[in-house]
Amino acid sequence: MNPARPASKRPRVLAVIPARYASTRFPGKPLVDIQGKPMIQHVWERVRAVSAIERVIVATDDERIAQTVRAFGAEVVMTSPDHPSGTDRIWEVAQNLAEFDWVLNVQGDEPFINPHHLQAAIDGAAQNPGADILTLVTPIHTVEDWQEPNLVKAVLTAHGQALYFSRAPVPYHRDAPESPQSAYRHIGIYLYRRAALERFTHLPPSPLEQLEKLEQLRALEAGMMIYAAEVPEAPVGVDTPADLIRIRDSLG
């Protein structure tokens, strides 16, 4: 009689939402009002709706954001103001929480992120045991989106492993150069294996990262494995005051 296999241990997931006040294009962005709530609260509530996420922390270097977060009952950690990126900010928080296997980075300007999409990234960790990082993509359907440099494209294998990310219209079809076939838009949600997050934050910026201004290329150049889960659509983010106006108009 074969002994019973021990139940597989459920991975413990920490979500960290980096939020800073001093945005160049939109100062104070996490605190702007959307339907009676600060934007950072919308993000926090959607992340909290994912049952697989055990703990959610807002990481900020600004006391105004911290006070707002505490007021709606969320956990906040004050971090250094000198971090070059949100990824460095989340590692400052995660490095003191070694009990978590995975760390989810959800930007504080994604008030409409779909909790089911976050769950898809977490599910991808179980489906791709060799992955260092999980992220999200959505199909590109128009030539305009494919050619838009502010929409980052992901080139994937048939199994969802990321080969490259670019602002250029890739992959290029030689026989149909105006076609975005097999093209994906990258959605900047990252689920890091804890050891991968630590390694990533200690790597210097890579040559391709500096060319494209895409941080995830640093991981690929270092040989880290990124897998992407496909979701039906990208969330509506808020990068500029104009984006906020459009969102408020659409919500009525």
Considering only residues 104 and 241, tell me which one the structure prediction assigns the higher pLDDT: 104
207/132 same-domain check: yes
Query: DSSP assignment of 59-88, as one string?
Result: EES-HHHHHHHHHTT-EEEE--TT-SSHHH
Instruction: Assign 184 to helix, strand or coil.
Output: strand
Task: Report the distance separating Cα 52 and Cα 36, nearest Å.
Answer: 28
pLDDT (tens digit per residue) in 202-214: 999 999 999 999 9
Task: Report the distance separating Cα 171 and Cα 25, nearest Å.
Answer: 30
In a domain, 239, yes or no: no
Residue 33 is part of which domain span? 11-111
215/121 same-domain check: yes
101/146 same-domain check: no
106/195 same-domain check: no
Task: Report the distance separating Cα 240 and Cα 94, nearest Å.
Answer: 29
| Model pTM score | 0.92
133/228 same-domain check: yes
**Length, in residues, of the chain:** 252
pLDDT (tens digit per residue) in 159-175: 999 999 999 999 988 88
Among 111, 139, 169, the domain-final residue is 111
- Asked if 13 and 97 count as a contact pair (C-beta separation under 8 A), the reply is no
Number of domains in the chain: 2
